[in-house]
C-alpha cells in the first residue's frame, strides 16, 4: 500500500535538523569548555541541554515516527502541507527556545515553546488516530500514546515554569519543578517511546518473532505509574521519590526481560547484513549506560551524602541523557535509515532499488560512529562534574566528530540506495 511506504522528505529534514542541533551542542563545549562551570542549573547549560533533548532526541523521534509508524505500527503517515508547517514550527520553536534560554529570557522561551508543543501535538494526534485502526498489539499503542501524552505534559510544565520565572505565582520549589519536568520528558517521552517501539523494531531488526499479549503492557503501566509518583513527590518535595524511582526501574526490568526472551528466540540473520552490526552494538552500549543511570537514580532517590550529591547528579544526567538516550537514538537511526533510504529510492525510481535495504549499512562508517561515542561519552561525563577542561574539550570533540560522521553515514545510505558509488568492502 502506497500510504504505508515511508518515502517523504520529512524524516530526512527532521534528521538533518537533529544532527545540526547535536553538533552545535558539542561544538559549543569544544569552543568554551568552561561554559558548564560547577552547576548544570544555569541558563546557558539549560540551552545546551535542550539542543540535545529537543533538538536531537525529540526531532529524531518525530522524524523516525514517519518511518516507524507505517513500517512497524501500520499507521499511515502520508505527508502534506500540514506536516511541513509542523516541522517548520518545531524547528523554529526549538531555535527560539534555545536562544531565549541562552539569553535567560524565560518569557520568550515559553512563547517559543508553544510552537514546539503544537508541532508535537500535531504528530501525536496523527499517531493516536492511526493507532486506533492499527494492527499493532494494543500494548505497543499504549506505550506510544502515553509517550506523546507525557511529552505534551512536560512541555506544559516547562511553559508554566517559564512564565512562573518572572511572575512567581506557582509557589513550588524551582528545583522540584525542574526535576519533575526533566523526568516527565526524559522518562515519559523518550524512554516510553523507545520501549514501545522496540517491541516492534527489535524483532524486525534481529529478526525474531513479534511479541504479543497483554503482558507487554506491564512496562507501560510500571513506567507511567512510577512517573506519576515521582513527579508528584518531586513537586511536593516529599521523601517518596524512591517509590517512583523503584517503579520506573521495575518497568525497565520488565522491558529488558521481554527483549531477552525475544533475543533467545531469534530467527536466522539476513545474509546481506554486514557481519558485525555496529549500530546494534551502539544500542548495547546505550543499555550499559542505562544500568549506570538506573543505579545512580536509585541512589539519589534514597539519599546521597550532601558532599557527593552534585557530582552524582552530574554523572546521572550525563549517563542518562548522553550515554543512554542520545546514544540509543544513534543506534536505532543506524538501523532505520537503511529501510527509509530503500523506500525513498523506490519512490524516486518507481521500481525496487538494485541494492537490498540490509546491504545498505556500511561497517566502517557504523564502527567509526560507535568508537567515537564509546570514547566521547565517558570523557564528557567525567569532565563535566570535575570541571576538567581537557576532558570536556576532548570528549565533546569526539562526540562532535561522531555526529558529523553520523550525518555523512545517513547521506551515504541515501545515495547508495539510489545506485550511488559502491563502498570498498
Q: Which of 192, 175, 176 is nearest to 227 (CA)?
A: 192
What is the distance between the alpha carbons of residues 347 and 37, in angstroms, rounded to a whole number? 49
Q: Which is nearer to ligand HEM, 181 or 344 (CB)?
A: 181
Q: Which is nearer to ligand HEM, 141 or 158 (CB)?
A: 158
Dmax (CA) for the chain in angstroms is: 64
What is the distance between the alpha carbons of residues 361 and 336, in angstroms, rounded to a whole number? 10
In the complex, which residues of this chain contact ligand HEM (CB under 6 A)? 40-41, 45-46, 49-50, 53-54, 57-58, 113, 116-117, 154-155, 158-159, 161-162, 174, 177-178, 181-182, 185-186, 189-190
Q: C-beta of 118: minimal distance to ligand HEM in Å? A: 10
Q: C-beta of 273: minimal distance to ligand HEM in Å? A: 31
Q: C-beta of 174: minimal distance to ligand HEM in Å? A: 5
For the beta carbon of residue 157, count every other beta carbon within 10 angstroms. Answer: 20
Q: Which is nearer to ligand HEM, 61 or 68 (CB)?
A: 61
Q: Are 382 and 347 in contact (CB under 8 A)?
A: no
Q: C-beta of 101: minimal distance to ligand HEM in Å? A: 8
Q: Which is nearer to ligand HEM, 318 or 361 (CB)?
A: 318
What are the Cα distances from residue 289, in Å, to 87, 224, 326, 327, 377? Answer: 31, 21, 11, 9, 10
Which residue, chain included where needed, has cell 565533546? 396
CA atoms within 13 A on the CB side of 158: 30
Q: Where are the alpha helices (DSSP H) in 265-302?
A: 278-302
* H helix and E strand count, the chain: 15, 0
Q: Which is nearer to ligand HEM, 116 or 262 (CB)?
A: 116
Q: C-beta of 189: minimal distance to ligand HEM in Å? A: 6
Q: Are 341 and 357 in contact (CB under 8 A)?
A: yes
Q: Which is nearer to ligand HEM, 46 or 380 (CB)?
A: 46
Q: C-beta of 371: minimal distance to ligand HEM in Å? A: 26
Q: C-beta of 261: minimal distance to ligand HEM in Å? A: 28
Q: Cα 213 to the chain's mean position, in Å?
A: 26
Cell of 27: 561544538
Q: Which is nearer to ligand HEM, 194 or 218 (CB)?
A: 194
Q: C-beta of 251: minimal distance to ligand HEM in Å? A: 17
Cell of 389: 577542561
Q: Which is nearer to ligand HEM, 161 or 337 (CB)?
A: 161
Q: Are 347 and 5 in contact (CB under 8 A)?
A: yes
SS (H, E, C) 333-376: HHHHHHHHHHHHHHHHHCCCCCCCHHHCCCHHHHHHHHHHHHHH
Q: Which is nearer to ligand HEM, 105 or 374 (CB)?
A: 105
Q: Please list, residue by residue across 411-425, b when 16 or more beta carbons sit within 10 angstroms of its beta carbon and e when fewer do.
A: ebbbebbbeeeeeee
Q: C-beta of 181: minimal distance to ligand HEM in Å? A: 5
Residue facing ligand HEM at closest CB distance: 158
Amino acid at each position: 500500500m502506497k500510504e504505508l511506504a515511508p518515502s517523504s522528505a520529512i524524516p530526512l529534514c527532521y534528521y538533518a535538523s537533529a544532527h545540526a542541533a547535536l553538533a552545535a551542542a558539542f561544538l559549543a563545549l569544544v569552543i568554551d569548555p568552561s561554559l558548564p562551570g560547577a552547576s548544570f542549573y544555569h541558563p546557558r547549560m539549560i540551552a545546551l541541554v535542550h539542543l540535545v533533548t529537543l533538538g536531537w532526541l525529540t526531532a529524531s523521534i518525530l522524524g523516525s515516527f514517519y518511518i516507524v509508524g507505517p513500517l512497524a505500527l501500520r499507521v499511515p503517515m502520508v505527508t502534506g502541507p500540514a506536516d511541513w508547517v509542523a516541522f517548520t514550527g518545531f524547528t523554529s520553536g526549538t531555535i527560539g527556545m534555545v536562544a531565549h534560554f541562552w539569553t535567560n529570557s524565560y518569557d520568550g522561551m515559553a512563547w517559543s515553546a508553544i510552537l514546539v508543543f503544537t508541532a508535537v501535538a500535531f504528530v501525536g494526534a496523527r499517531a493516536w488516530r492511526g493507532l486506533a485502526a492499527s494492527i499493532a498489539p494494543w500494548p505497543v499503542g499504549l506505550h506510544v500514546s502515553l509517550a506523546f501524552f507525557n511529552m505534551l505534559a512536560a512541555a506544559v510544565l516547562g511553559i508554566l515554569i517559564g512564565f512562573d520565572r518572572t511572575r512567581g505565582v506557582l509557589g513550588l520549589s524551582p528545583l522540584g519543578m525542574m526535576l519533575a519536568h526533566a523526568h516527565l520528558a526524559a522518562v515519559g517521552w523518550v524512554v516510553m517511546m523507545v520501549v514501545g517501539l522496540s517491541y516492534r523494531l527489535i524483532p524486525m531488526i534481529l529478526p525474531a518473532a513479534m511479541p504479543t499479549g497483554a503482558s507487554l503492557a506491564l512496562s507501560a503501566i510500571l513506567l507511567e505509574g512510577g512517573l506519576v509518583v515521582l513527579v508528584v513527590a518531586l513537586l511536593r518535595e516529599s521523601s517518596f521519590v524512591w517509590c517512583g524511582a523503584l517503579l520506573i526501574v521495575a518497568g525497565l526490568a520488565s522491558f529488558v526481560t521481554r527483549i531477552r526472551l525475544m533475543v533467545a528466540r531469534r530467527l536466522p540473520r539476513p545474509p546481506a547484513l554486514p557481519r558485525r552490526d555496529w549500530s546494534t552494538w551502539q544500542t548495547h552500549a546505550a543499555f550499559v549506560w542505562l544500568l549506570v543511570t538506573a543505579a545512580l537514580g536509585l541512589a539519589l532517590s534514597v539519599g546521597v551524602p550532601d558532599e557527593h550529591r552534585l557530582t552524582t547528579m552530574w554523572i546521572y544526567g550525563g549517563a542518562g541523557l548522553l550515554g543512554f538516550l542520545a546514544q540509543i537514538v544513534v543506534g536505532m537511526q543506524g538501523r532505520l535509515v537503511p529501510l527509509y533510504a530503500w523506500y525513498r529510492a523506490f519512490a524516486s525510481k518507481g521500481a525496487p532499488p538494485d541494492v537490498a535495504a540490509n546491504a545498505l549499512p556500511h561497517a566502517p562508517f557504523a564502527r567509526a560512529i560507535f568508537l567515537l561515542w564509546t570514547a566521547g561519552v565517558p570523557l564528557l561525563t567525567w569532565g563535566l562534574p570535575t570541571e576538567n577542561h581537557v576532558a570536556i574539550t576532548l570528549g565533546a570533540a569526539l562526540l562532535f566528530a561522531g555526529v558529523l560522521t553520523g550525518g555523512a553515514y545517513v547521506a551515504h545510505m541515501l545515495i547508495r540506495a539510489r545506485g550511488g558509488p559502491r563502498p570498498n568492502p
